[in-house]
Chain A
């Protein structure tokens, strides 16, 4: 099966043709450079995404704390990651990179604070 995909590595936005055999990439064509092949392989075999969101924050000047996955998680797990993020309540003070959720949705990745937040004086 041949799938068309847009390469997002650079502004060229090459419309690549990716030949697939089940879940394996057999060949990549219409790519401008080798980076397209790497991207196609990753995106077809194990697409991953960073997830950024907010969690409820107490005891601070603001009511939400921005958080992020410490590294990309499998794309198919994004919804599960969000479900868990939506349930969390955090109390200030918080430091940037503090772990907010360990091993979120069993991805092996932590959700961490993406900034510090002081407690209300």
Chain B
């Protein structure tokens, strides 16, 4: 019997696993996808909002403020990037100026430093601000991260500290019993004392398996984005928001940690929980709305578009509580500012529900994550050293992002390692550049096949059963080994 089963390996589940792994306990994380961090964590705005925006007294406000403060040290611990680039909320009319003033006061109350600035000062910070912007709320604390890399790093560390992770396991049934729970997936049956539901868009379904009631209802909301190439990296330097409305934060312009720019998201409700396709109308909406806040948008640098489903809920606040069934904990409806709140949510769950119920002792020897080599970010001397140690770091596979074979092999061999083309792309970036994998994908497929001991035609693109190649030519069958 496990001590804890975590359902769902998004950033919330991964960080809970990470926090639990600091204690002596048996933790198993079940993920229905072929990789962790493959849904909402993979497709969001990647911003660590400072926390002045959520309504007073909401769990969102509390978690966001506390979560944002934890990010710098968490990212240091996990050895992933955190960049505090600051943000600007823009107002185009007097009404919106009032909104900015309200946010400014709210920030002050919450101990977050913000500044109201006029158009002239704004233009010294950003060139491509739309002509009708009159005022801005400047917040230096706002940061950006690569959300999936945080989740992967957290999971990798958790696994180095005895946490287990099973991919491609979809939870089909949960039975509450005297001393714990039986959790059934399509392949296996597991048992645990505590079950933590971090199933994102499916959290209501998972809850229903245990409580047999519709305690809450997850409403998938789709957000569509464009990605601009690094050629456009000078377009903006800060996170640019329109003035928020009741509907949400609106369409943003966001620099990424790696020098791309995101435009988005759209926001449309939908029923289908699997459909994260992009649409003509959604992408058109992003183009239309983004023009409100910025000008000279370098659309010719668009290299990719994607969409993600956010797990919203009618009450518009996070659900972090024990369900009506003891020891079954819901961590649900984590939509914006879920990313910024994640470290605080994970901490709250572990403090309030894990440590109070299980008598756990802290690990004496906690294995910290060893940072992966990123050749593109190394000095010449460092590159020399790494290549001397392992020549594969000298063989560049992805020319756009300058990713070496050594980095790709490393990300497959690590704990919580990559099992698909997308999983490699998420971890070390081949295919994230301008050619979108046109040149490097065949090479990545070869490396994955060799490392996993399978045929190239068995190498998945993303989900299990999604190979790019269907067979060998000439009717030849792969000879293993």
Contacts and interface: CB of A to CB of B under 8 A. Distances in A.
Is there any pair of Cβ atoms, one from A and one from B, under 8 angstroms apart in the complex?
yes
A54 interface: yes
Interface string B458-481: 000000000000000111100000
Interface core residue of B473, B474, B475, B476 (most chain A CB under 10 Å): B474
Nearest to A85: B474
Nearest to B476: A56
A55 interface: yes
A54 B476 CA distance: 13
A77 interface: no
Interface in A65-113: 86
Nearest to B475: A86
Contacts of B476: 56
Interface string B357-401: 000000000000000000000000000000000000000000000
> Mostly helix, strand, loop or mixed at chain A's interface?
strand
B249 to A, nearest CB: 52
Interface residues on B, range: under 10
Contacts of A64: 473-474
Chain A interface size, under 10 / 10 to 19 / 20 to 34 / 35 or more: under 10
Interface string B418-437: 00000000000000000000
Interface in A18-64: 54-56, 64
Contacts of B474: 54-56, 64, 86
A117 to B, nearest CB: 16
Contacts of A56: 474, 476
A55 B475 CA distance: 11
B323 to A, nearest CB: 56
B456 to A, nearest CB: 10
B473 to A, nearest CB: 7
A86 B473 CA distance: 8
A56 to B, nearest CB: 5
A24 to B, nearest CB: 40
A55 B476 CA distance: 11
B478 to A, nearest CB: 11
Contacts of A86: 474-475
A54 B474 CA distance: 9
Contacts of A55: 474
A54 B475 CA distance: 12
A31 to B, nearest CB: 40
B172 to A, nearest CB: 42
Contacts of B475: 86
B442 to A, nearest CB: 12
A54 to B, nearest CB: 7
A59 to B, nearest CB: 14
A86 B474 CA distance: 5
A65 to B, nearest CB: 11
A45 B163 CA distance: 74
Nearest to A86: B474
A56 B477 CA distance: 11
A55 B473 CA distance: 9
Contacts of A54: 473-474
A56 B474 CA distance: 7
B242 to A, nearest CB: 51
A64 B473 CA distance: 9
9 contacts: A54-B473, A54-B474, A55-B474, A56-B474, A56-B476, A64-B473, A64-B474, A86-B474, A86-B475
Given A56-B476, A86-B475, 7 more contacts: A54-B473, A54-B474, A55-B474, A56-B474, A64-B473, A64-B474, A86-B474
Interface of A: 54-56, 64, 86
Minimum-distance CB pairs A-B, first 7: A86-B474, A56-B474, A56-B476, A86-B475, A54-B473, A64-B473, A55-B474
